[in-house]
Structure 1
Amino acid sequence: MEEAIDSPFPVLGIAAWSGTGKTTLLAQLLPRLREKGLRVGVIKHAHHSFDVDQPGKDSYKLRQAGAAPMLIASRERFAMMQETPGQEEPDLGYLLSLMITQAPDLVIVEGFKAWPIPKLVLYRAGIGDVSIVSGDWVQAVASSGSLPPSIRPTAKRLDLNNIEAITEWVIEWMNAQPNAVAN
């Protein structure tokens, strides 16, 4: 088994094949965690090029001109963009280090299936390979139907349609981590 990523806060991966409902789950989970008083950061892996900036805007022009990084800020939000030419895949350890100054109670990582981090796996029969439920780092599996026999015996079984139970499991899991901040 690979060594876990060292982090000052708990890190939980949400792993699933495309079309399983990762973003839908997170859109329901995040407000519930916030209601419980938790600050939750999210790192999302994109499998393609993307822009959070609009062509023609000053920050876009400056980034295209070579600003590295480019940080744009207003009184409502800030965003930092960094070009990473030639990089195979994002380095999750580095991305987590960028979260440290924000002092989250928990960071949820969407994607990064191969990284050695504890995972909540979302599973729907017929979508993707069933091996996703049997990895060493699987802590829980949320499913909308029957689970394959390959699920790790120690993994908690959750109903994908029961967001309250998933929320409670995430909080219990987070509080059991050695780097959890007492709330």
Structure 2
Amino acid sequence: MRDDIPVLSIVGFSGSGKTTLLEKLIPELRRRGYRVAVIKHHPHPGAETDVPGTDTWRLVRTGADHVTLVTPDQVVHWKRREAEPPLQEIVAEIREVDLILTEGFKRERFPKIEVHRAPAASALASRPEELIAIASDRRLDLPVPQFDLDDVEGLVDLIEKTFLRR
């Protein structure tokens, strides 16, 4: 497995459809044989990450610095932090995948696909020079490849060509 796993951020304003787009991109990437990691940014502290009342939920609330849940088909880590870690630190912990997708992190310096909907936002959430594409419900006057929000195959073709040459 490569040490230099490519990172691509899916960015946009709140409610633009970032998660919805990821829900379409990931199965198509998997269908094409790629292993994918996702890092989701949640800008507010105290997000619920487990079902209230379960054993892991109770253990996380004890104040343990690290709690790991192991099941036959997954491993989940909860790691207490004083501050949000840099994205590069989280990326460095991920192995055994072909591509790391992030949701959010619009201020980070990774290549991006911006999800843009009219009329919710006229401005972009990121700088055009950081974009490899825009997924939108309308055409924007920008020199960046643009795709319809439902053109999953076209977006994955671009991701494959840009990051996943085998």
Match of 1:139 among 132, 135, 158: 132
Match of 2:72 among 75, 80, 83: 75
Q: Does the aligned pair in 2 maintain the 1:119–1:140 contact within 8 Å?
A: yes
Give the corresponding residue for 1:60: 57
Q: Does the aligned pair in 2 maintain the 1:123–1:133 contact within 8 Å?
A: no
CA-CA distance at 1:22 after TM superposition: 1.0
Inter-partner Cα distance in structure 1 for 2:122 and 2:85: 23
Match of 1:120 among 113, 118, 129: 113
Tell which deviates more after alignment, 49-58 or 36-45.
49-58
Q: Does the aligned pair in 2 maintain the 1:72–1:78 contact within 8 Å?
A: yes
Give the 3-state SS of the residue equivalent to 1:130 in structure 2.
coil
* Structure 1 position 108 matched with structure 2 position 101: yes
* Structure 1 position 95 matched with structure 2 position 95: no
Q: Does the aligned pair in 1 maintain the 2:133–2:145 contact within 8 Å?
A: yes
* Structure 1 position 171 matched with structure 2 position 157: no
Inter-partner Cα distance in structure 1 for 2:58 and 2:135: 43
Match of 1:160 among 135, 149, 159: 149
Q: 1:57 to 1:175 in 2, by over 3 A?
A: closer
Q: Does the aligned pair in 1 maintain the 2:115–2:135 contact within 8 Å?
A: yes
Give the corresponding residue for 2:27: 31
Q: Does the aligned pair in 2 maintain the 1:71–1:81 contact within 8 Å?
A: yes
Inter-partner Cα distance in structure 2 for 1:24 and 1:117: 20
Paired amino acid for 1:66: G
Q: Does the aligned pair in 2 maintain the 1:133–1:141 contact within 8 Å?
A: no
Which runs of 4 or more aligned residues in structure 1 lie more than 4 Å from their structure 2 counterparts after TM superposition? none
| Unaligned stretches of 5+ residues in structure 2 | none
Q: Does the aligned pair in 1 maintain the 2:10–2:114 contact within 8 Å?
A: yes
Tell which deviates more after alignment, 58-67 or 15-24.
58-67
Inter-partner Cα distance in structure 2 for 1:63 and 1:26: 28
Scaled by the length of structure 2, what TM-score is found? 0.88
Compute the RMSD of aligned alpha carbons.
1.9
Paired amino acid for 2:160: I
Identical amino acids, percent of aligned pairs: 32
Inter-partner Cα distance in structure 2 for 1:93 and 1:133: 18
Q: How many pairs were matched up?
A: 163
